[in-house]
Amino acid sequence: MKQSNDKPSALNHLDNDIQTKTEESRRALSGMLFATLAMRGRQTTVADKSLPLTILSGFLGSGKTTTLNNLLTTDHGIKLAVLVNDFGRINIDSALIESKTDDMISLTNGCACCAVSGDLTKTLIELTERKEVPEAIIIEASGIADPNGIAQVALSNPAIYLDGIITVLDAENLVSQTSSDHTSGTVIRQIQAADILLLNKLDIVNSQVRTQILEYLEQHFAQKVIIESLFGEVPISALLGQSKSPKVKYFPIEGSHHADKFESVSFNVKQPLDRNKLNLLFDALPPKIIRAKGVLLLSDNVNNRVAYQRVGGRWSYSDMGAWINDDAESNIVFIAPKGSVELLELESKLMACCV
């Protein structure tokens, strides 16, 4: 172990961390400027703020790749574009691969995995100018990156909105990572930036470590939503929001062992809802609710569909334009660990928002 005193350097840990933070910031700002330059005169083939972006963050070895492999190959019906630094560690069953080039693997399920060779901005522009635009984008952040910086750069593309930041944590090594000078700054920033913490490798730690980690997270990051995963498998419905494409999708809880742990509760409300009352309800939802999403019929905007998204403690509305071929009515789904949502209570609160 390292010596605690007698540091040869004139710079202490705090200064090191400021240095790192500043360089992260510099990288993000440069990236944003570069993206602004690159976007000039560009026409995306999709509407503004219509493509959901999920950033998958996490320190080296935390299990991001396993999670990505699952996202790519699970049969969820969503056309995902997954952006990774290099293909090397992505491991997809060859039967699922439709075609492969130097920088893209296309899968038979409509998903694609793209290698970002250095320039995220360009890759995103190419994706949003394609004829076949994906329904959701996932970016794998490098192990040492601050996901907020990546979000900032990606959001310079007007087609994209931020659906959520998911930080994968390595249960086996989290304690040492957050106590080492060399890694704590990075790991803590990744946790702070997250909407959802995905706690990996819980299956291989003993109960003492498990308790220690949960207490640590409870003490320092009480507001964060935590999903415990087994063997990198997680319910996709919890990780991804809904596509804003006209055919709105709800993701059912898939796979038997997820169904044991998570549940989704959906409501259909025919009467228009009052925005102010809903605001209060949505603000007061318990942090246990990992995700909520839906299309709303609001009394002050009855001609248009309004999308509602909640990830972690963050939520927003967005206007999706006029109702097309749909019945004008509200549909909302809440996803939470099994048994943590009072179904009846939620339903009565929601009904109380009707005009």
Partner 1 sequence: MSKSKVTVFTAKNILTMDPGRPEVGAVAVLDGKVLSTGSVESMSPWLSQYDWELDETFADKVILPGFIEPHSHCWMSAGFMALDFIGPLPWPGRNGINKPVEDCDAIFEYLREADKREKDPLKPLVAWGYDEAKQGGNIDRDALDLINPTRPIYIISWAPHLLYMNSAALSLSKVPEKTQDPHIKFYEDGRLKGIVTEPEAVSFAIAPVMQEISDASGVTGLKFMASIANRAGVTTIADLMFGVLDFDTELADHSAATEDPSFPVRMRLTPYAAALNAKFGDDAPKFMDTLKAKETNELFFGGIKFMSDGSYPLMGSLVGFPGYLDGTNGQPGDSNLAELMKPFWEAGLQLHCHANGDLAIDLTLGALETLQKQHPRFDHRFTVEHYAMSNQMQARKLKSLGGIASVNNYFSHFRSLLHRDHAYGPDRSETVGRLGTLEKEGVIFALHSDYPQVVVPMLPLTAVYAAVNRVAEDGKTVVAPDECIGVARALRAITIDAAYILGLETKLGSLEQGKFADFTVLEQNPLEVDPKSIKDIPIWGTVKGGEKFEAQE
Neighbours of 286 (CB within 10 A): 10
Q: How far is the CB of 153 from partner 1 (least distance, A)?
A: 9
Kindly tell me which of 38 and 96 has the beta carbon lying closer to partner 1.
38
Query: Which range binds partner 1 by CB under 8 A, 111-119, 201-209, 252-260, 304-312?
Result: 111-119
Nearer to partner 1, 185 or 235 (CB): 185
Under rule CB under 8 A, how many of the chain's residues touch partner 1? Answer: 55
Nearest to 82 by CA among 48, 105, 51, 108: 105
Per DSSP, the three-state class of 131 is: coil
142 phi and psi, to 5 degrees? -70, 155
Q: Which of 194, 214, 236, 285 minimizes the C-alpha distance to 70?
A: 236
Smallest distance from partner 1 to CB 62, Å? 12
Among the listed residues 1, 6, 19, 214, the single contact to partner 1 using CB under 8 A: 19
Q: Please say which residue, 11 or 322, places its beta carbon nearer to partner 1.
A: 11
Show the binding pattern over residues 240-279: x = contacts partner 1 (CB under 8 A), - = does not.
---------------------------------------x
How many whole angstroms separate alpha carbon 80 and alpha carbon 286? 30
Determine which residue in the list 32, 175, 188, 285 makes contact with partner 1, applying CB under 8 A.
32
Residue 48 CB, nearest approach to partner 1 (Å):
12
Task: Report d(CA 192, CA 190) in Å as an integer.
Answer: 5
Q: Which is nearer to partner 1, 91 or 266 (CB)?
A: 91
CB of 233 to partner 1, least distance (A): 25
CB closer to partner 1 out of 79 and 100? 100
Closest approach, Cβ 263 to partner 1, in A, equals 27
Q: Which long-range contacts (CB under 8 A, 24 or more apart) does 312-315 make?
A: 312/164, 312/194, 312/195, 312/196, 312/223, 312/224, 312/225, 312/287, 313/195, 313/223, 313/225, 313/287, 314/164, 314/195, 315/282
The dihedral of CA 102, 107, 110, 111: what is its sign?
negative
Beta carbon of residue 262, minimum distance to partner 1 (angstroms, whole number): 25
Closest to partner 1 by CB, 20 vs 304, is 20
Site string for partner 1, 281-320 (x = CB under 8 A): ---------------------------------x-x----
Among 119, 129, 274, 326, binds partner 1 (CB under 8 A): 119
DSSP character string of 241-298: ----SSS---PPP-SHHHHHHEEEEEEEE-S-B-HHHHHHHHHTS-TT--EEEEEE-B
Would you count residue 47 as binding partner 1 (CB under 8 A)? no
Radius of gyration for the alpha carbons in the chain, expressed in angstroms and rounded? 21
- Over the window 121 to 160, marking each residue x when it contacts partner 1 by CB under 8 A and - when it does not, the resulting string is ---------------------xxx-x-xx-xx--xx----
d(CA 130, CA 152): 22
Cα–Cα distance for residue pair 263/237, rounded to 1 Å:
10
Q: Determine the Cα–Cα distance for residues 134 and 220; give it in Å rounded to an integer.
A: 37
Which structure tokens are listed for 105?
A: 């693997």
Q: Which of residues 174-203 bind partner 1 (CB under 8 A)?
A: 180-183, 189, 193
Shortest Å distance, C-beta 182 to partner 1? 4
Helices (H), 172-235: 174-179, 184-193, 207-220
Please, which residue, 79 or 122, has the CB nearer to partner 1?
122
Q: Which residues bind partner 1 (CB under 8 A)?
A: 7-11, 14-16, 18-30, 32-34, 36-38, 40, 60, 85-86, 117-119, 142-144, 146, 148-149, 151-152, 155-156, 161-162, 180-183, 189, 193, 279, 314, 316
